[in-house]
Amino acid sequence: MDPRRRALRAIVYGVFYRLPHPVRRRLVRAVVPKYIVGGVTLVRDSEAAAPGRLLLLRQPPGRGWGLPAGLLRRGEAPIVGAARELGEESGIHLDPHELTPAVPNAVVHAKGWVDMVFEVSVPASTTVLEVDGAEVYEAAFHPIDDLPRLTVATARLLAYYGLGPLVAPDDPTSMERPKLPQHDG
């Protein structure tokens, strides 16, 4: 991407993410009026010992870490959109067939948002992470048992998979949440 286009993207993302959340939601809904569908990828380090490491991104406004994710394009298959967003945001370019649907695959949020969640394992030591500095400031693998400050949306989503700060280790109901399986790389 040429430097002028990269600079313009940085400005557009900077302005968008400085808008209040309700305004951002209204802008997105103006384009996708019925509901919003996103593709999310949980990327584990295939080389890490249990409980493992998870790829997280720091995006504007940079107050917390999140997962590789983004809105699906009209008519785009969720697995294709998740793979596309993973490549755009982290530099990890995979064939969509390398992703596996997470369990649960669809997470429906109260305000009309649906996340289609997929997972994959890659070797962190040989995986080159590339970010554009506009949409994503930083990408890194983090120990699952010592995650950095997460965005609220990421913390809520990870709880569906028995991960993150919203799952109490001594909470007996947390055993009912599906666990994200480890995959051999």
User: What confidence tens digit (pLDDT) does each residue in 93-126 have?
Assistant: 999 999 999 999 999 887 778 999 999 999 999 9
Q: Helices (H) and strands (E) in the chain — how many of each?
A: 4, 7
> For residue range 67-99, what is the model confidence (pLDDT) as tens digits?
999 999 989 999 999 999 999 999 999 999 999
Beta bridge partners of 151: none
Q: Is the overall model pTM greater than 0.85, yes or no?
A: no
Lowest mean pLDDT among 26-35, 77-86, 166-175: 166-175
Task: Label residue 36 by pLDDT band (50, 70, 90).
Answer: confident
Per-domain boundaries in the chain: 3-176
Given a contact cutoff of 8 angstroms between Cβ atoms, the answer to whether 99 and 87 are in contact is: no
The CATH number for 3-176, chosen from 1.20.120.420, 3.40.50.150, 2.60.130.10, 3.90.79.10, is 3.90.79.10
Q: What are phi and psi of 88, to 5 degrees?
A: -65, -40
